[in-house]
Structure 1
Amino acid sequence: MANDTRPGRRQERLRVRGVALPSEEWAEFWIANGRLTREPLPDATTVVDGGWLLPGLVDAHTHPGALRPGDPLDPALLRRHGREHLAAGVTLLRVPGSADRLPAWFGAEPDQPRVVSAGRWLGVPGTFYDGWARHVGEPELADAAVEEARASGGWCKVYADWVVGEEGLDAPPLPVGVLTELTRRVHAMGGRVAVHAQTAAGAEAAVAAAVDSLEHGLGLDPALLERMARQGTALVPTFTVWETFEQVARSSGSERFRSWFRAAHARLAPLVSAAHEAGVTVLAGTDSYGTPELPHGRVAGEVRHLAAAPMPAAAALGAASWTARAFLGFPVLDHDAPADLVAYDLDPRTDLAVLRTPARVIHRGRVIR
């Protein structure tokens, strides 16, 4: 890799070349005005000369700007968390729910990743923490979902169930009819629906409603995977957050809850592997909050979890790059695409640990590192 450009220095005309993924073809791009071009620019500075080029990484489930779910958004934290993602090569975030709607500058300023948001968390009373989500009754839920999707630019996030203790195991999920009508309404206005589901009943309701993405899916019945693949419902298993959920299980005081969680968690890796085999779009999301236990910029760890499920290394990598970008409507490396890319000295498919140390991160045509 050439090292003649200081991280953070603005470059009007850059040149990168290497093996592009997922095409596996040798590629040479020039960068001007924040976009890739295949037309040579004689005065460009070479910043990547060899190695592997990937479309910018994606964390498809993260919650920057607060240290706990539902805390008021802190602009300073939001900016810091965005930079932490970007330093790790994550140039695109999907933020499926927050306490407040994200400010317009987040996702637009040069030192921040691009952002797909989903407005405020939505649920009926009793799902998610009181005061931390927008709680409405079942009859008002579809209207609220349309409102959040419009305010966010397309997505909304809904809780089909909520399990943080024994009582959640017996609570009925959001009725299928309510979730189906909500999804129909959001789709009709051109939006998309992400659904939190931990239990088998919650996941079944989400799949029956043909939502766009199923978040977590601990209790998902494998028999539903073929239907998910047919209708395009993605699975975001968020392995990273379950590393810390064991603490919740231990401190719950409920042996039934601990047993449920441990059994569901043990089923998750085989479920993800089966989902990939069935053709379900699997996406990498960390469910990070910026705490010491769930810091931002750790999507590389989520990719390793996916690969260990197992998924093929290339598929696990795509879940945090080209596959996720396509699902969210963003291009990969091509002529006239946005100049968002990450470069590695070694092929990350042969050693996923390489993802932790990108040789170059370029975002909006600017060298980040």
Structure 2
Amino acid sequence: MTVLRVRGTAVATGEPVDLYADGDRWTTDPVPSAELVPTGWLLPGLVDAHTHPGYAEIGDPLDHEALRGHLHQHVDSGVTLIRAPGLAGDPPDWFGTDPDVPRAVHAGPWIAQHGQFFDGWGRRATHAELPDLAAGQAARTGWAKLIADWLPGDEHIPVDVLRAIVERVHAVGGRVAVHSQQRAGGTAAVEAGVDSLEHGTWLDPGLLDRMAAQGTALTPTLSVLLDGVPRVTARPESEKRSWFLAGVAAHPGLVAVAAEAGVTLLAGTDSLPHGRIAAEVRALAGAGVPAHEALGAASWTARAYLGLPGLEPGAPADAVVYAADPRTDLDQLDHPLAVILRGRRIR
């Protein structure tokens, strides 16, 4: 196997980088015959922290061929690590491990209350059953994903139930991600101490300091929500239409204030097409998040949150190289000079 060498400037720190791929780990030990990839500005791989690959239509079962194709789209965009907080089924053994697909963490199928979430997807349980179900999932994969609330007028999972879920999941060494798009559901999730809040529209801004203090991350999936505005605006007036449009209208401001409060932001794209992480970074920056933090949400910050180090000896041998500093031109994200995954040049 060819040994790769990366050299340039680390975007996260501004420090020079000169590393060699010793299999799937970076090292500073020189290898005279190493192949030098194009020099430039370096990221330790991009991260999509909220993606659901492996299906064509909502409610479809997990399709392994589609799953691999979607993961290839992620890699082609520079994504070397994904978090899938909910899948259409249990993934195959090669998910996250084969050399041509991103590293991955996942929460298995979604977990929801009876009568909520998309038909054909996820596991339904009573409030009494939810803590054990979530803990069992987290024990297998490290994460459990709960649908805390769903459509306008639906009841959210009560805070005492969410607390029990968090306690049980943390007891097995796992973490809890929670979908919320209602004020009451978001409040319950934060008060319960969940590890990450997904979407978070209608979240009370008064909870942001608490989120920062207790380490609850926010994955705002801003770009897909904004992209949905023209489609939803064209629909007839309804409670659901008004709820969506008002929540999304306030979301960019909430995300900017969350960044100011020190909440960990994670970049996630949520839906088709895959490989759109650059659009999410631009949406975060467009909302007022500083470009450095917006890029970190899709790279070094997200990797650290998910337990992976960056461009340093002993870290996984992932990197993306750009011709110029992407913080000064976020469109650079669409044009990587090289993508390295597990010590191999993929692009």
What's the TM-score once normalised by structure 1's chain length? 0.91
% identical equivalent positions: 54
Instruction: Indicate the residue corresponding to 2:15 in structure 1.
Output: 25
Instruction: Indicate the residue corresponding to 1:223 in structure 2.
Output: 206
Q: 2:149 aligns with which of 149, 161, 183?
A: 161
The 5 Å alignment of 1:96-107 reads 96-107=85-96
CA distance in 2 between counterparts of 1:255 and 1:100 reads 32
The runs of 5 or more residues in structure 2 that have no matched partner are: none
Instruction: Indicate the residue corresponding to 2:106 in structure 1.
Output: 117
One-letter identity of the residue aligned with 1:56: G
Instruction: Indicate the residue corresponding to 1:143 in structure 2.
Output: 132
Contact 2:3/2:35 (<8 A) preserved? yes
Instruction: Indicate the residue corresponding to 1:14 in structure 2.
Output: 4
One-letter identity of the residue aligned with 1:30: Y
Contact 1:55/1:340 (<8 A) preserved? yes
CA distance in 1 between counterparts of 2:235 and 2:290 reads 36
- Structure 1 residue 194 and structure 2 residue 160: aligned? no
CA distance in 2 between counterparts of 1:241 and 1:144 reads 29
Q: Deviations over 1:282-305 (max 9, x none)?
A: 1100002xxxxx210010000000
Q: Deviations over 1:110-145 (max 9, x none)?
A: 000000000110011122023311011111011110
Instruction: Indicate the residue corresponding to 1:126 in structure 2.
Output: 115
- Structure 1 residue 43 and structure 2 residue 33: aligned? yes
Q: 1:364 aligns with which of 327, 342, 346?
A: 342
**Count of residue correspondences:** 347
Contact 1:70/1:133 (<8 A) preserved? no
One-letter identity of the residue aligned with 1:314: H
C-alpha displacement of 1:253: 4.1
- Structure 1 residue 305 and structure 2 residue 283: aligned? yes
Contact 1:34/1:339 (<8 A) preserved? yes
Q: 2:76 aligns with which of 87, 94, 97?
A: 87
Q: Deviations over 1:71-108 (max 9, x none)?
A: 11111101111111001100000000112111111110
Instruction: Indicate the residue corresponding to 1:6 in structure 2.
Output: none
Q: Deviations over 1:158-205 (max 9, x none)?
A: 011012xxxxx2222111111110111001110000000000011001
Instruction: Indicate the residue corresponding to 1:255 in structure 2.
Output: 238
Contact 1:62/1:93 (<8 A) preserved? yes
- Structure 1 residue 340 and structure 2 residue 286: aligned? no
C-alpha displacement of 1:20: 1.1
Q: Deviations over 1:249-274 (max 9, x none)?
A: 34764433222221111110110000
Contact 1:149/1:156 (<8 A) preserved? yes
Instruction: Indicate the residue corresponding to 2:163 in structure 1.
Output: 180
One-letter identity of the residue aligned with 2:26: L
CA distance in 1 between counterparts of 2:304 and 2:180 reads 23
Further displaced range: 248-257 or 260-269? 248-257
| Corresponding residue SS for 2:69 | helix
Q: CA RMSD in A?
A: 1.3
CA distance in 1 between counterparts of 2:156 and 2:236 reads 23
What's the TM-score once normalised by structure 2's chain length? 0.97
C-alpha displacement of 1:70: 3.3
Further displaced range: 354-363 or 37-46? 37-46
